[in-house]
Structures are given as C-alpha cells and as structure tokens.
Structure 1
Amino acid sequence: MQFYYHQKSGSKNLTIDGQTYKHIFKIRRVDKNQKLNFRNLNDNLLYSYQIEDIGKNNATLLLIDTIKTNIKPKPYIHIAWCIIDPKDIYRYIAILNQLSVDKLSFVYCAYSQKNYKIDRDKIEKLLINSCCQCGRIDKMKIEQFDSTRLFLDSYQDSYILNFSSNTILNHKDTIKTILVGCEGGLHKDEINMFKTDKIVGLKNQNILTSQTAVVTVASILSN
C-alpha cells in the first residue's frame, strides 16, 4: 500500500474501522508508534497520522503532518469502452486506472448485451484500492452512455479503434478520446458515424479481445 484511503482524510482526528482496520492491525500488525499515510483522493495532499488508540474493532488517529504532492503533467486519456460482460470489466478497471486513464465512458453499442449492468459501487471500491496500491492520487472518472450516437453527440472529435492502416501511433499526440468496441467489434452503421481520418488501427492485425484492445490503447496513449 502506498497510502490508505479515508474520505475524511485531512481531519484532525480519524476513526478507522472495517476492512481498513483489519488490514492495518490484523494483517500488517502495525505497531502503535508507526506513522500511517492517508489520502481522500479529492486533493493532492498526503496526510500523515499517528496512532492514538487501538480498540477491539477500531482505532483513533491524530493528524501530525500534511504534505503537498506535485502533480507531473501527463497526456489526457479518455477511453470509451463498449459494454461487455461486467465480470471482465471489473478485472481490468484497476489496470486502466494504473495506466493513468483520466476518464472511462461505458457505451451500450449495437453489439452490447442490454442486460449487462455495471455496478458503480463495486467499480468505486476497485478504483480506490487501485489508487492505494499504485499511488495514484485521483481516481479515474466514470460515465455511461446508452448508445454510440449519444456518446458521439458529447464527444464529436472522438476516434474509433478498428482495422485500419491508419495506425493509432500516427495520432498518438492528438487523440483525446477514443472508442473501443465490444466482442464482435462495432456495427457498420456505428463505424460510419465516424470520419474516415478518425478511424485508427493497430500494427498488430490479430483479432483481439475487447479487454486486450482497451489495455493496448491505454498503454500506447499513456507512454
């Protein structure tokens, strides 16, 4: 853990319980004299606490230091991901967060199964845990659209990943938003919604799973 999360981090006193308490005192068996670092993931401050009291199911902490974290400039990455089986989405959320994707938009495209529902509370927990593990100080933002058309109405300059000799590497510095299809890709009517120069491909011409494609795109754009 690079730090722990508490929504009230920054308060003079913190009371921790539940899974955070269990991890610190039951699993890591932290000594009472050890300093604990917390973030609230809403600002760029790291809050250091000392342990005042350890109870049977909770502990009380006292704020002793606040350190500002300088945020280094990085490319803005917004990926739209056509909805696939939520179980597969949950497996890859942390990876996209670690790759510094700023925003992830879920889109019900023509080939998405409409009965798939995204558990936003579960994603929130996965993102918080990912930030604590990798040290990211702001969570990836999440939003959702009911169709490709509605998505494009909001992001008219979006690119789309498809088979094309016009590779994503040629546009790496200009892509701010890009749509990645689900299993089976995108319907031809959806592809036709995009301008020809906004359709980009990969040098790898193998057929990728949606999960592999979205991680590949994030990796290229983040480096």
Structure 2
Amino acid sequence: MIYLLHSDAGKELLSIKGEDFKYLIKVRRHLLEDVIAFRNKKELEKVYRYKLIEIAPREAVFELISCETLEIKAKKVLHIGWCVIDNKSIEKVLASLNEIGVQKITFIYCERSQKNFKLDLKRFERIVEASNQQCGRTEFMKFAIVKNLESFIKENPQTKVFDFTEKILGSESDFSTVLIGCEGGFSQKEKVFLQNQEVFRLDTPMILRSESATVAVASKILL
C-alpha cells in the first residue's frame, strides 16, 4: 500500500476504525510511531503523512506531521474504446490497466457484444480506488458507456483500431485513442464503417482475447 484513502485526510488528528483499522493494525501490523500516507478523494494530488500515536481495541489515532502536493500519473494519455465483454473478464485486468496508466475506458455495445452484459461501473470504480492505493496513482480512471461504434467514432474521429491487418504497431507509435473489439472481433458491417480509420495489429501470430489485447496495446503505448 502506497497510501490510504480517507475522507478526513488533512485534519490534524485522524481516527481510523472499521475495515481500515483491521487492515492497518491487524493485517499490516503497524505500530506506534509508524508514519503512513493518506490522501483525500477531494484533493487527490495532496499527500498527508500521519504518525500513529494511539492504538485502542477498535480505533487507531494518527497525528498529521506533513502535507505536500505530489502527483503520480502516466506521462501519456490513452483513451480506450472497448467493445463490451463479460464484467468478470473486464474486472480481471482493470487493476492492471489502471497501473499501466490508462486515462479513460469507454465501453461500446458493438454488434457482437452480448446485450445481456450490464456493466457495473460503481464496482469498476471501487477496483480502481483499491488499485490506486496499491500503485500510488493520484488520478481516477474515468468510465463511460456509448450505445454503438458510430457514436464513439463521432466523438473520437482520430481513433486507431486494433484488428487483423498487415500494419504492426511499432514501439515508436504514439496516439491517444484506440478501439478494441469484443470476443469474435468486429462484424463485417462494422469493418466497413471503420475502413477510414487507421488499423493496426500486434506482432504476434497468436489470437488474443479481448482483455489480453487491451492490456497489450495499453502497455505498448504507455510503457
């Protein structure tokens, strides 16, 4: 854990109870005089360092010792348009995408997306919060949903497309918006619609699952 989110971070004294108390005292086994970093969602760029001054059976009290502005985020910006797949598959790689530094994911209901998949954005946000505390990132990944590819491309006309093609994504490639299909890829109708977009693939003979492709492309662009 790099820091812990708390709504009272910034106050002179910080009282920690419940799950945060169990995590810090029972799991992490922090002792008196230990210094721990906290951040507040309202001003995530600020890091507050507290000293543990009291441990009770169900409560730990921390005293503020310093505050500074310290932002940690990716050097580049990447917005992923991701055709909807199963929530469970998204959740498996969401923390990795957050650590890599993806700024935003817009989920798109493409023709081959199963319409019964209802995205739980609140759960995605909780996963990102936990990931931020582990990796140190000081901005929250953003999420959006659009109904089809046409809407996404209209809003993001410079989108590059990951699909089957001869052009291989090079290590020097630098762009800010990428579109990745769901399982089974894009339909023929969607391919025709996307024919004016720049299309690329990764340098591998293997067929990647949608979530594997998303992590691979994000890594290639951001890291």
- TM-score, scaled to structure 2: 0.91
Choose 59-68 or 48-57, whichever is displaced more: 48-57
Report the secondary structure of 1:169's partner residue: coil
Report the secondary structure of 1:192's partner residue: helix
Which residue of structure 2 aligns with residue 209 of structure 1? 209
Q: Offset at 1:141?
A: 1.3
Which residue of structure 2 aligns with residue 164 of structure 1? 165
- The answer to whether the 8 Å contact 1:112/1:182 transfers is yes
Which residue of structure 1 aligns with residue 30 of structure 2? 30
- The answer to whether the 8 Å contact 1:164/1:202 transfers is no
Which residue of structure 1 aligns with residue 130 of structure 2? 129
- The answer to whether the 8 Å contact 1:163/1:205 transfers is no
One-letter amino acid of the counterpart of residue 64, structure 2: L
Which residue of structure 2 aligns with residue 78 of structure 1? 79
The number of equivalent residue pairs is 222
Q: Unpaired segments of 5 or more residues in structure 1?
A: none
Q: Offset at 1:50?
A: 2.1
Choose 79-88 or 57-66, whichever is displaced more: 57-66
Written as runs of structure 1 = structure 2, the 5 A alignment for 1:16-165 is 16-41=16-41, 42-69=43-70, 74-165=75-166
Which residue of structure 2 aligns with residue 10 of structure 1? 10
The reply to whether residue 194 of structure 1 matches residue 194 of structure 2 is yes
Structure 1's 154 and 13: CA in aligned 2 closer, same or farther, altered over 3 A?
Answer: farther
CA distance in 1, matches of 2:147, 2:12: 43
Choose 202-211 or 7-16, whichever is displaced more: 7-16
CA distance in 2, matches of 1:190, 1:204: 24
Q: Unpaired segments of 5 or more residues in structure 2?
A: none
Q: CA RMSD in A?
A: 2.0
Report the secondary structure of 1:51's partner residue: strand
Report the secondary structure of 2:170's partner residue: helix
CA distance in 2, matches of 1:185, 1:149: 16
- The answer to whether the 8 Å contact 1:83/1:106 transfers is yes
Choose 203-212 or 94-103, whichever is displaced more: 203-212
Structure 1's 31 and 171: CA in aligned 2 closer, same or farther, altered over 3 A?
Answer: closer
Structure 1's 182 and 53: CA in aligned 2 closer, same or farther, altered over 3 A?
Answer: same
One-letter amino acid of the counterpart of residue 26, structure 1: K
Runs of 4+ in 1 over 4 A off after TM superposition: 70-73
- The answer to whether the 8 Å contact 1:167/1:201 transfers is yes
Q: Deviations over 1:148-195 (max 9, x none)?
A: 12212211211111011122228722x210111110011122222224
Q: Offset at 1:72?
A: 7.0
- The answer to whether the 8 Å contact 1:105/1:142 transfers is yes
What is the identity percentage for the equivalent residue pairs of Structure 1 and Structure 2?
A: 32
The reply to whether residue 177 of structure 1 matches residue 156 of structure 2 is no
- TM-score, scaled to structure 1: 0.91
Structure 1's 176 and 165: CA in aligned 2 closer, same or farther, altered over 3 A?
Answer: same
CA distance in 2, matches of 1:217, 1:49: 39
